């Protein structure tokens, strides 16, 4: 790290780079400092894909790779832990057009038609859906809309945590994110009549 400590520019880059490093290469150069060395080291060692390597117990974002049933990529979901739950940022593809449902499922296995992921994550023994009197499951989350196959959105789930609490995602059988090809009606048992499972991603693999 001493390499980066020699100029204020490098120091600024060092502070700016870790969270979302792709912006580092487009950081404006300071034209008021003509004597700045031109060989300022670029922070190529910044963790552009480090999110997936972060330990689950920390507060660092974790990127979940989503896949279709044929194994092709369905994009990513980046999960950012907060003191109050998990913020999920989805960047998905290959999902057709229309309303889709989005859940945390109880088993961290994405195989075949993704029934391997089990039911909705429900460690607190609730009923399914926001409209259910004894709902919702900890893994229930709002629907989203895919357009031309893609969807980018954020959602927040205050009922779960990466570890600890009533609904930790890192329990022994892990956790998966599942997208269904229909809308969750937020009340049908046990899973909102949401349709086929069209994308899946392992948050924590089953032990």
The catalytic residues are: 103, 105, 120, 128, 137, 140, 180, 197
Partner whose footprint covers residue 128, from Zn ion, Cu ion, none (CB < 5 to 8 Å by kind)? Zn ion
Distance, in Å, from the CA atom of 66 to the CA atom of 87, rounded to the nearest integer, reads: 17
Smallest distance, Cu ion to C-beta of residue 11, A: 46
Partner whose footprint covers residue 137, from Cu ion, Zn ion, none (CB < 5 to 8 Å by kind)? Zn ion
Report the interface residues with Zn ion, using CB under 5 A. 120, 128, 137, 140
Torsion of CA 50, 53, 105, 87, to 10 degrees: -40
Partner whose footprint covers residue 140, from Cu ion, Zn ion, none (CB < 5 to 8 Å by kind)? Zn ion
Q: How many CB atoms lie within 10 A of CB 172?
A: 8
Closest to Cu ion by CB, 47 vs 182, is 182
What's the N-to-C CA distance of the chain in angstroms?
A: 37
Smallest distance, Zn ion to C-beta of residue 130, A: 9
Whole-number Cα distances in Å, 127 to 19, 123, 186, 188: 37, 11, 10, 9
Partner whose footprint covers residue 178, from Cu ion, Zn ion, none (CB < 5 to 8 Å by kind)? Cu ion
At 4, phi and psi to the nearest 5?
-90, -5
Closest to Zn ion by CB, 18 vs 135, is 135
Going by their DSSP bridges, the two strands 144-146 and 197-204 should be labelled as unpaired
Closest to Cu ion by CB, 60 vs 140, is 140
Smallest distance, Zn ion to C-beta of residue 102, A: 11
Report the interface residues with Cu ion, using CB under 5 A. 103, 178
Closest to Zn ion by CB, 60 vs 184, is 184
Smallest distance, Zn ion to C-beta of residue 197, A: 13
- Residue 71, token pair as written in the block: 């194994």
- Residue 146, token pair as written in the block: 């895919």
Distance, in Å, from the CA atom of 121 to the CA atom of 166, rounded to the nearest integer, reads: 11
């Amino acid at each position: 790290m001493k390499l980066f400590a020699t100029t204020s520019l490098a120091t600024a880059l060092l502070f700016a780079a870790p969270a979302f490093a792709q912006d580092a290469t487009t950081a404006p150069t300071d034209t008021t400092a003509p004597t700045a060395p031109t060989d300022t080291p670029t922070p190529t060692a910044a963790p552009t894909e480090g999110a997936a390597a972060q330990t689950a117990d920390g507060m660092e974002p974790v990127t979940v790779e989503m896949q279709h049933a044929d194994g092709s990529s369905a994009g990513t979901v980046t999960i950012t832990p907060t003191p109050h739950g998990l913020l999920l940022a989805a960047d998905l593809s290959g999902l057709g057009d229309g309303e889709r449902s989005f859940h945390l499922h109880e088993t961290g296995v994405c195989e075949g038609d993704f029934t391997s992921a089990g039911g909705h994550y429900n460690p607190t023994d609730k009923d399914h859906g926001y409209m259910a009197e004894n709902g919702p499951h900890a893994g229930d989350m709002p629907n989203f809309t895919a357009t031309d196959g893609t969807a980018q959105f954020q959602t927040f789930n205050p009922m779960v945590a990466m570890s600890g609490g009533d609904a930790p995602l890192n329990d022994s059988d892990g956790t998966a994110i599942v997208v269904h090809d229909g809308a969750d009606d937020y009340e049908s048992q046990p899973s909102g009549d949401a349709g086929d499972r069209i994308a899946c991603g392992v948050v924590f693999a089953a032990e």
